[in-house]
Chains A and B, each alone.
Chain A
Amino acid sequence: EVHLVESGGGLVKPGGSLRLSCAASGFSLSNYTMNWVRQAPGKGLEWVSSISSRGTYIYYADSVKGRFTISRDNAKNSLYLQMDSLRAEDTAVYYCAREVGYCSGGNCYSMYYFDFWGQGTLVTVLS
């Protein structure tokens, strides 16, 4: 059974840093593109960042570009989000999400939409 468990959230001051982790189980992380998605209190879902199965392709939303860094350790079946220069507007529940994909001929390909989500970790940026 696929499980995604986020951790690392908490209270941080504006300008501070935080590192989120997502532990994957029930599947091999190395075969899938992974994402971070956030949800501000009372608001909708906002895509944050994406990283391909081997980490070759990385993309960010404009709202976090230059401040957040996505990474992965396939050997540890873990996904990370390093968040620097945090702002009040970064306050949100952060979810990790797996993309549908398949592997063929030694390469893995993404279908770009999400099929499994974690339960989220809350990040609060407050002075």
Chain B
Amino acid sequence: QLVVTQSPSASASLGASVKLTCTLSSGHSNYAIAWHQQQSEKGPRYLMKVNRNGSHTRGDGIPDRFSGSSSGAERYLTISTLQSEDEADYYCQSWGTAIRVFGGGTKLTVL
């Protein structure tokens, strides 16, 4: 069964970098994932797709401060030069033919 796991919270200082982690369940370590950002009281926004080899494809208008990478069953979202508007919930999403799956989300606090 495909499951994606995220830490519930993360924090980093304004101007610093932060790396969020999404972990794929056993047997699914070669799956790609997508990252989505949800700011307070807004609908989600697609950030990027991250492949098993670490290559990533950002959505339209997503700044290159956002980057993706991979290691084994883990997929990462790194945000550099943190800005106040980066404070949001971040969700990873994976999929099979008949299913779409979200992680529980990571709440990022910018200090």
A11 within 8 Å of B by Cβ?
A: no
Size category of the binding interface on chain B: 20 to 34
A50 pairs with B42, CB closer than 8 A: no
Contact A44 B98 (CB under 8 A): no
A113 at interface, CB cutoff 8 A: yes
Given contacts A45-B91, A45-B105, A113-B95, contact A50 B100 (CB under 8 A): yes
Q: Flag B92-111 by CB within 8 Å of A: 1 or 0 each.
A: 01011111111111000000
Q: For residues 56 through 111 of chain B, which have their beta carbon under 8 Å from a beta carbon of chain A?
A: 59, 89, 91, 93, 95-105
Per the CB 8 Å criterion, the residue count for chain A at the interface is 22
User: Residues of B contacting A84 with CB < 8 Å?
Assistant: none
Q: For chain A, what secondary structure do more than half of its interface residues adopt (helix, strand, loop), or is it mixed?
A: strand
Residues of B within 8 A of A45 (CB): 36, 38, 44, 91, 93, 102, 105
| Apart from the given pairs A50-B100, A111-B49, A113-B33, 15 other A-B contacts in the complex at a CB distance below 8 Å | A44-B89, A45-B38, A45-B102, A59-B99, A61-B99, A95-B44, A112-B96, A113-B93, A113-B100, A114-B36, A114-B44, A114-B93, A115-B59, A117-B44, A118-B43
